[in-house]
Amino acid sequence: MWSWRLEKAGGQDAGTSPETFPTQSDAESWLGEHWRTLKADGVDRVTLLEGDRAVYPMSLEEAS
């Protein structure tokens, strides 16, 4: 399963995405639809997870 780890400024843990996804594409689509809300809630960075394995990090600052 795929999910997103959420981080606030300074690397402060903000939990994980409220749902998990069957594919990487589904997870990326969800982020594309929700990044503005996450950013408004103070999330600065996300990391795509496949199970417990970190796949890649991404700054939400770069998305704007």
Query: What's the number of domains the chain is made of?
Result: 1
Task: Tell whether 28 is covered by a domain.
Answer: yes
pTM for the predicted model, two decimal places:
0.90
Task: Tell whether 64 is covered by a domain.
Answer: no
Task: Tell whether 54 is covered by a domain.
Answer: yes
Cα Rg of the chain (Å, integer): 11
Task: Tell whether 19 is covered by a domain.
Answer: yes
Beta-sheet strands, E only, within 1-64: 2-8, 13-16, 43-50, 53-59
Q: Whole-angstrom Cα distance, residue 53 to residue 61?
A: 23
pLDDT in tens, 6-53: 999 888 999 999 999 999 999 999 999 999 999 999 999 999 999 999
Tokens of residue 62, six digits: 């770069």
Beta partners for 54? 49
Task: Tell whether 17 is covered by a domain.
Answer: yes
On the question of pLDDT at 64 being above 60, the answer is: no
Q: Whole-angstrom Cα distance, residue 34 to residue 39?
A: 9
Domain extent at residue 53 = 2-59
